[in-house]
């Protein structure tokens, strides 16, 4: 359906991914309107001043509040919805589980319900690899969000699909930002476990995945980027080399936090039966025969995914150049 002449609504639209998604749509396509909703008035104010585009419209709206959400959807009548609003930090969700449920689970139900009521053509839900065999409140609530979305497959004229992210480097609150701040302050870098690995993606890759999924989605799919994985210790070493300026920063092991996994996974055993490869990503959809090999089930410690410290340095430099 494309994005030109479409009204596009983004929940969590002042966050790292939501705001970059809005910028990309306004700069590379010709949407009728890009509607950003969030509950952060300061970021909305700053975003409007930064973009200065009459097609950008913002609403103060919390996805937990169905009445307000429904009001905005009925007024805007969006064609496409990107649902990026979430509580994403594992440790904070562990400490505040009810809040995580309200935003990640109930909020997703509210978005889907409001979208269907307003006759939205497509909804793309942004999920996480932490929803695969979850060990945390955050992952569990995002899994519930996925299941809410996928449960509507074949039951509504609204096409609803999911994308599953890894860790987005340089997003707000990411380990990349933490390490960079620690290096700038001349502090030791705090590592939770020497063998910990994570799937990673650049912000531009995250946005590209979301947009490509929106173009291709027929309903009921989960789109997953074929992304590299890094050992967190290698990421720390690479960042010291890039940003350290000869500072003598060391790595200090502090232990795994509650809810954290040592290694992440991209798909479950059940999903593996319905996964195919398309371009640079995988697509999970009920009822299609598997063409992906079993190795793709392996965790982020799989040598096929892990990249070296030298490759991490190149990866980070690419990301920095993209953001300049």
Which residues form the catalytic set? 130
199 close to 167: Cβ distance less than 8 angstroms: yes
Beta-sheet strand order (sheet of 197-201): 167-168, 197-201, 229-231
CB < 8 Å & 24+ apart, contacts of 272-279: 272/296, 272/297, 277/226, 278/216, 279/212
Give whole-number Cα distances, 167 to 178, 189, 198, in Å: 13, 18, 7
Give whole-number Cα distances, 168 to 104, 203, 214, 227, in Å: 18, 6, 19, 11
Length of the chain: 324
Angle value at C-alpha 226, between 242 and 152, nearest 5 degrees: 130
For residue 135 the two structure tokens come to 């060990």
For residue 9 the two structure tokens come to 């609504």
Q: Which residues on adjacent β-strands are paired with residue 201?
A: 168
Angle value at C-alpha 153, between 273 and 126, nearest 5 degrees: 80
């Amino acid at each position: 359906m494309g994005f030109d002449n479409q009204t596009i609504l983004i929940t969590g639209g002042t966050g790292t991914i939501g705001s970059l998604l809005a910028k990309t749509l306004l700069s590379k396509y010709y949407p009728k309107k890009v509607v950003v909703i969030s509950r952060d008035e300061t970021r909305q104010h700053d975003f409007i001043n930064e973009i200065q585009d009459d097609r950008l419209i913002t609403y103060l709206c919390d996805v937990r509040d169905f009445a307000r959400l429904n009001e905005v959807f009925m007024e805007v009548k969006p064609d496409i919805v990107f649902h990026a609003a979430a509580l994403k930090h594992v440790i904070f969700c562990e400490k505040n589980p009810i809040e995580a449920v309200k935003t990640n689970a109930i909020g997703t139900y509210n978005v889907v319900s409001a979208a269907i009521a307003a006759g939205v053509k497509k909804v793309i839900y942004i999920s996480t690899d932490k929803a695969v065999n979850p060990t945390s409140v955050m992952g569990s609530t995002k899994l519930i969000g996925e299941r809410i979305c996928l449960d509507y497959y074949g039951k509504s004229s609204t096409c609803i699909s999911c994308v599953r992210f890894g860790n987005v480097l340089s997003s707000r609150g990411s380990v990349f930002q933490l390490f960079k701040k620690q290096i700038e302050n001349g502090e030791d870098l705090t590592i939770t476990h020497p063998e910990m690995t994570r799937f990673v993606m650049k912000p531009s890759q995250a946005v590209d995945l979301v947009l490509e999924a929106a173009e291709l989605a027929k309903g009921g799919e989960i789109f997953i980027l074929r992304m590299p994985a890094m050992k967190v210790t290698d990421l720390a070493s690479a960042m010291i080399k890039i940003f350290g300026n000869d500072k003598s920063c060391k790595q200090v092991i502090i232990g795994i936090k509650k809810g954290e996994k040592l290694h992440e996974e991209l798909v479950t055993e059940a999903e593996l039966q319905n996964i195919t490869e398309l371009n640079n990503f995988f697509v999970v959809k009920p009822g299609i025969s598997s063409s992906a090999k079993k190795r793709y089930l392996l965790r982020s410690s799989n040598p096929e995914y892990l990249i070296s410290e030298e490759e991490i340095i190149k990866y980070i430099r690419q990301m920095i150049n993209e953001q300049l």
